[in-house]
Chains A and B, each alone.
Chain A
Amino acid sequence: MRNRREILKVTGMLMGAGLSGSLSQNVTAGLVPTDKPARSVFDARSSKMVAILAELIIPKTDTPGAIEAGAPAFIKMMVADWFNDGERKIFFDGLTALDDFCKAQYQKSFLTCDEAQRIAALKDAEKFAATYKSAGPMFDFSQKYVDSNTPFFTKLKELTVLGYFTSEVGAKQALSYNPMPMRYEGDYDFEKVGREWSW
């Protein structure tokens, strides 16, 4: 079947027990809750930086921003529990690089800079990230292709977006959440919903 999952996976485009016991037991045992990291690799400084950075990427507008949606906790969980050592190093080196930029430009740490300065630092990280050419597919939304070597800014942006738009706040307020549509219409005016579906 050609549902969108298969198309997306096959085109390389999607942003992607045990023998005993009952099936339900096996399943629920295998699913990992995402509300808190199994281990903590963030200290107060890096934790604050993640929150500020996430909110810079997806700020509060007419809809909640990254902080209100819980994206910082998601980002920290992913860095702590999903990243491998190499990816974690890139991430934390990236935070350090932001501090280095701010110290060089403003003689202050990232956390003591004002918003305009922080934005300049993040733009610098973005500029650096733009020089990296991934070997992977152009759009990757199957979530199966993982390029471990993407730069810090790329990792940060991707995790922020993923954490935000899959959060309950993000899905229901920045997107349109309709898990049980009950019908399919192929010709539907966008203005009737106004925001992309969350799925």
Chain B
Amino acid sequence: MQTAYDFDVIVVGSGITGGWAAKELTEKGLKVLMLERGKPLEHGKDYVTEHMEPWKIPFGGKPLRELYASDYPIQSTSYAFDETTRHFWNNDRDNPYVFDENKPFHWLRAGVVGGKSLLWGRQVYRWSDLDFEANKKDGHGSDWPIRYKDLKDWYSYVEKTIGVSGQSENLPHLPDSEFQPPMQMNVVEKAVKQRIEATYKERKMTIGRVANLTEPLGARGACHYCGVCQRGCSVGAYFSSHSCTLPAAQKTGNLTLRANSVVEGLDYDPATKRIAAVRVIDALTKEKSRITARMVFLCASTVGSVQILLNSKSESFPNGLANGSGTLGRYMMDHTDSVSAIGITAEFPNKYYYGIRPNGIYIPRFRNLRGRDTDASFERGYGMQGLSMPLEWKAMAMQTPGFGADFKKALQQPKMWLMALVSFGECLPYKDNRVLLDDKLVDRYGIPQVRFDIEYRDNEQRMQADATQQAVDMLKAAKMSFVLPIGKGGPPGSAIHEMGGARMGRDPRESVLNAHNQAHDIPNLFVTDGSSMASSSCVNPSLTFMALTARAADYAVTQLRAGKIV
């Protein structure tokens, strides 16, 4: 048995979950190597566009069409991608992947240390047992091996660490978080809330629950409401690996962080039934190395982790590491994500806002809360996000006829507000929604490219249709004018909530991980990112990923100290 290791733990990935794994494990005294495939990034210093004035933004903010088409055709579809954030994003041309043209998948990734924790939308919501029990109750997917009670205290712990602002609503199916004071709604949102709740007695519209600080937290300052979170925030007002978990890990002195380090695969030793080493390729020199550790935490993102496992075949695991069940790469999900409806109001001509709020409103799931609603043609449900904002010069200039002094004046004061409702819908776990490794194409490191075979099916489409209709009805009840259904969202991947592929489960024959995110039969391998999800709920998942990671790290260290890991 090997007794000398390079590190206690190798954490693969520096994003939402990698940062958490590193923080927890280093704080518990372990020597951790964090491997990140992306480029180095320094908090603050490398936020080179953070306060870039509008007149300095290239081409007035217009897309660099040829460059985006050649190098970022997929990444540039994201709302968070523009010239002021492009340097954080993954280059598509350098990092190709494969899908059938009639089943597109938008695989959105960052290309720097911190991953998508730099770019994310920061909405955070807890799951409830409505979510954890769904698979068991309706038979889609396989039963989660945990329930809300297993995660409740971890949610609290994570929330107190990252800082979440929001409003307590005491809803059983959307448990409250540990909240900093909530951000305000604007005048239109308040009116819309009051009217929707008066019309639909069981529905609630609340302010978004968001990982932006409304009060200082430790060394991090409260939000400045400058509206450009994705450019990076040197005040640390929103949660990212850089603002919170990496500094905590670095403070312990136990963290070694290596960027430009691509994990090709994990070596399994059948004699010890453990991961023996991690195989790494240097992104710049292409040099290969093998690094040993007692434990491995795979936090490389949903698809990244699955790719690594699939690429780690051996005699013991001919279908991919930890894939005794055959479920590795299967039951992939992403929320359906579409603007359901928009409306306009001219009710508040003299009202405006101060500051740019990095948050919207939220309408928690109201469908199928107690079994299937009698008028619902679909299982499970969706939540709605959204906001109201005045239509300012950017929106109105090309809609305002004429030119000259009156035209100019008209653009200086808004006359109407827009109200939009956007839904995130739960995607069922389907066996045939999967990722595989392409059998011919490799990437620039020689690693087989990921091939996606994922589509939304009947339940997702019927759910989206319902969300659209409900949104239209609610906006009309809210006395909005010109209410327009929109309803068509992007392809899978575009919600950027991709999950599944290495699901947790009770039965090793039907899942990859046990109730502690530990690979069945490989005690020193933990997978804690979105790949571990057995179902998708309709709420933004990152908070749950973080809670699972903190819980798994705690379990892993307990097991390690009890001599059960190595």
Residue-wise interface mask of B (115-138) relative to A, using a CB-CB cutoff of 8 A (1 in contact, 0 not): 000001111000000000000000
Partner of A6, one of B51, B121, B393: B121
Query: Given known contacts A56-B403, A196-B413, is B60 in contact with A7 (CB within 8 Å)?
Result: no
Residue of B nearest to A31 (CB): B58
Q: Is the CB of B389 within 8 A of A7?
A: yes
Query: Given known contacts A179-B51, A199-B227, is B87 in contact with A78 (CB within 8 Å)?
Result: no
Stretch in B243-251, B273-281, B302-310, B354-362 touching the partner: B354-362
Q: Is the CB of A186 within 8 A of B55?
A: no
Q: Which residue, B59, B225, B349, B360, has most C-beta atoms of chain A within 10 A?
A: B59
Residue of B nearest to A158 (CB): B398
B465: Cβ under 8 A from any A Cβ: no
With an 8 Å Cβ cutoff, the count of chain B residues facing the other chain is 101
Q: Which residues of A contact B46 (CB under 8 A)?
A: 23-24, 27
Q: Is the CB of A166 within 8 A of B61?
A: yes
Q: Which residues of A contact B397 (CB under 8 A)?
A: 15, 157-158, 161
Q: Is the CB of B86 within 8 A of A30?
A: yes
Q: Which residues of B contact A184 (CB under 8 A)?
A: 183-184, 223, 225, 353-357
Q: Is the CB of A15 within 8 A of B59?
A: no
Q: Which of A136-183 contact B (CB under 8 A)?
A: 138-144, 146, 154, 157-158, 161-163, 165-168, 171, 174-175, 179-183
Q: Which of B143-191 contact A (CB under 8 A)?
A: 183-187, 189-190
Nearest chain A CB to B217's CB is how many angstroms away?
A: 17
Q: Which residue, A11, A33, A59, has most C-beta atoms of chain B within 10 A?
A: A11
A195: Cβ under 8 A from any B Cβ: yes
Partner of A2, one of B94, B342, B385, B399: B385
Query: Given known contacts A2-B121, A3-B229, A181-B226, is B395 in contact with A13 (CB within 8 Å)?
Result: yes
Q: Which residues of B contact A180 (CB under 8 A)?
A: 51, 224, 226
A1: Cβ under 8 A from any B Cβ: yes
What is the bound-complex CA distance between A196 and B393, given in angstroms?
A: 8
Q: Is the CB of A146 within 8 A of B79?
A: no
Q: Which residues of B contact A187 (CB under 8 A)?
A: 184, 186-187, 190, 351
Interface pairs (25), CB distance under 8 Å: A1-B360, A2-B121, A2-B208, A2-B360, A3-B229, A6-B80, A7-B420, A16-B394, A19-B283, A20-B284, A34-B58, A58-B407, A78-B60, A130-B401, A162-B60, A168-B55, A171-B54, A182-B225, A184-B355, A185-B353, A186-B184, A186-B353, A189-B352, A196-B411, A199-B227
Nearest 9 A/B pairs, CB to CB? A1-B121, A181-B355, A15-B394, A186-B186, A2-B360, A186-B184, A184-B355, A6-B79, A9-B79
Residues of B within 8 A of A (CB): 39-42, 45-46, 48-49, 51, 53-63, 65, 76, 79-80, 82-83, 86-87, 91, 94, 112, 120-123, 183-187, 189-190, 208, 210, 223-227, 229-230, 260, 283-284, 337-339, 342, 349-360, 385-387, 389-399, 401-405, 407-409, 411-414, 418, 420, 422, 486, 540
> Beyond the given A23-B41, A61-B408, A179-B53, could you list 11 further A-B residue pairs with CB under 8 A, ordered by the A residue number?
A3-B360, A84-B65, A139-B391, A143-B60, A163-B60, A167-B54, A184-B183, A184-B354, A184-B355, A186-B185, A197-B356
